Amino acid sequence: MAVTIKSKSEIAIMKEAGIILAKVHKELEKSVKAGMSTLEIDALGEKLIRGYGAIPSCKGYEGFPNALCISVNDEIVHGIPNKNKIVRDGDIVSLDFCVLYKGWQSDGARTLMIGEVSPEAKQLVEVTKQCFYEGIKYAKAGNHLYDISAAINDYADKYGYGVVRELVGHGIGKEMHEDPQIPNFRQRRRGLKLEPGMTLCIEPMITMGRPEIVVLDDDWTVLTEDGSLASHYENTILITDGEPEILTPVENL
């Protein structure tokens, strides 16, 4: 496992990339409405990313055709935008994408609640977000990687939710996916020791029902096997000498 430690100058660029990603997420949160197709949302997202002088790095990644992964209701991740897929009132919609800026990546996901969603769906989205914040309490130099995993798992367990096992968080830098892999479920070991300068993507993927998944014939879209709702929340973070720093601060804009 080769985990890269970023220099101050590299971190500065990653912060710029993270702010761009956060601004795009914020603008999409304001713009996405019932009646839009997921392809319309994707086109808007790509326009916004390019408008900031960045590149939508999901587009073309291992053959993925679009700038945004847009996953609706029982879709967990990697939903391919489609002109015939219309977002409706009561849906929950995950927007997950990466931006490449000055050679450095940033990655983040939010699950939007469209119109009036059910109390159960709202709780799932809120708990998934809080799983992230429970996890990063342990994202400190001297702690271990899987301390984060255990905290995410334990919080989801309180609500009886499923924690997807086949999909994990990851390191990030010049590449979208770098070492280490970061599970959202408890491990037998504590994993590598965290050091200042590590940049990580923490991304709980939580289901209302069972955690098992299926993949559609498009070889991308991942759904819950039991048809239950799923939620996804992700930030790029920096390990520092003190508290972790969120490099994709959507909520702070």
Q: Any binding-site annotation on 144? A: no
Bridge partners of 223, per DSSP, are: 75, 214
Indicate if the pLDDT at residue 1 is higher than 90. no
Bridge partners of 214, per DSSP, are: 223
With a pLDDT cut of 90, the percent of the chain lying above it is 98
Q: Is the dihedral of CA 217, 221, 226, 227 positive or negative?
A: negative
Closest CA to 248 of 13, 17, 6: 17
What does the pLDDT look like over 125-166, one tens digit per residue? 999 999 999 999 999 999 999 999 999 999 999 999 999 999
- Cis bond leading into 211, ω under 30°? no
Domain boundaries, the chain: 8-252
Q: Any binding-site annotation on 203? A: yes
What does the pLDDT look like over 188-245, one tens digit per residue? 999 999 999 999 999 999 999 999 999 999 999 999 999 999 999 999 999 999 999 9
Indicate if the pLDDT at residue 23 is higher than 90. yes
pLDDT at 2: 86
Q: Any binding-site annotation on 62? A: no
Contact 146, 180 (CB under 8 A): no
pLDDT at 250: 93
| CATH architecture under which domain 8-252 falls | Alpha-Beta Complex (3.90)
Q: Any binding-site annotation on 177? A: yes
Q: Any binding-site annotation on 170? A: yes
Q: Any binding-site annotation on 232? A: no
